[in-house]
Structure 1
């Protein structure tokens, strides 16, 4: 089972940045860190590192520390053997993921996941669930997002229509900015729906009160004074 990574410790150590997106994603991130990693794939620590990197804006070194801290069994043995003689300060997160996948993810599975990413859309997911899936699958098809413009285009195109339409003008922004805007638009849509629902309930309540009042008014008028 993957070790749990304490979100509070990352914040107190200055790893996390207190953005609205981070606060909204805390519960999802914490649950993902506790996911079981089987030795058949050993991909969960890397997925967790990817997601936390997005949500907490970690540095390259911090991404590696987060993911490798959770490795166990064959994956831990591989890492301990491979890192000997490496300058970890120059090892990039992208290089680690590539080597990790080539070691533990079979070619057929990589091809399947690459195809899944090419067809990925938000569908019934929240924005956080969508970006988590996006990050998990994107490393199996890096050629689809090898520039900032291509990554933003793929992410925005896969969003639900109302979000995609709202974010098109921001396709040249940094990816973190696009993600944060998607969260904010989603929250506004949620608040709008909740406001309409409450207004509808109030309107229906007023209608029934008025109807019931009119029902007894003639009787009251006949028996007045």
Structure 2
């Protein structure tokens, strides 16, 4: 409504009349009672007085101060740059005195960024809020691309199953030993072997030659 008032260049009286006409429910009941109190103090109710009374009832100063402190200590944390920007601009309204210039706003936004982003932007000495925001978004995209690329490389590698290889060897040995022990001993030499016994021959035990 204040945007409309600025466009139409409304007077204080017109602002109060139009704003109170739009009140509904609890707010409308409040105004019916409080209007008499204000008129008893001064028949002329200015827009500034109306806003002060409205905020005091529905948005007390203690809550506004709490929002201001929340803005002053706001940091990016685990949020993305865009999520941090959204919170920053929502809370900025409660601390306009701290960011009354674009340079102050840029400095406050930069101060709350994560260290890995802030360190790369501080050296650029940017003075514009829009420039700091744009640089933070570019750096975030670059870092995200690097992390995703490294992750893909790690996933593409197939580790060697050394434990599986080690386990195979004793199993083969066990099967050979089992096969040997299940054979019937040779009646001529008393040993375990396959084929014809060559103990009493001149042939080679290995090749039979």
Could you tell me the TM-score, scaled by structure 1's length?
A: 0.47
Pick 1 or 2: higher relative contact order, CA cutoff 8 A, min separation 6.
1
Larger Rg: 2
